[in-house]
Amino acid sequence: KDEKVGTGTEAIEGSEIEVSYRGTLDDGTVFDSAKSFVFTLGAKDVIRGWDMGIVGMREGGKRRLVVPPKLGYGQRGSGSAAESGYIPPGATLHFLIQIKKVRG
């Protein structure tokens, strides 16, 4: 769901994208966040839910993504329960993503 539609360059597969984001679990627990993260859209640098959910966004845009387990970390989860950033098996992930820059 778009919270703010951007007006800059459109994010397409193969673009280098700079985003800021916050990721939470269903209960609101924050498992990850960054003020600046750069990746290539569609290059499998990120979970499939991001590669699919960010296409079409524009610079300056802000979007909420709800990523089901099959497009996130599936039944394996990520990390250890004893560590920060733990994602349990079968978790639905919630992201607030803002596009800061699109290159290419």
3-state secondary structure (DSSP) of residue 45: coil
pLDDT digits (tens, 9 = 90+) for 61-91: 999 999 999 999 999 999 888 888 899 999 9
Q: pTM for the complete prediction?
A: 0.93
Q: Catalytic amino acids?
A: 21, 31-32, 47, 73, 95
**What does DSSP assign to residue 18?**
E
pLDDT at residue 89, rounded to an integer: 96
Which residues lie across from 45 on neighbouring strands? none
Instruction: Categorize the per-residue pLDDT at 30 as very low, low, confident or very high, splitting at 50, 70 and 90.
Output: very high
Q: How far apart are CA 55 and CA 68, in angstroms?
A: 17
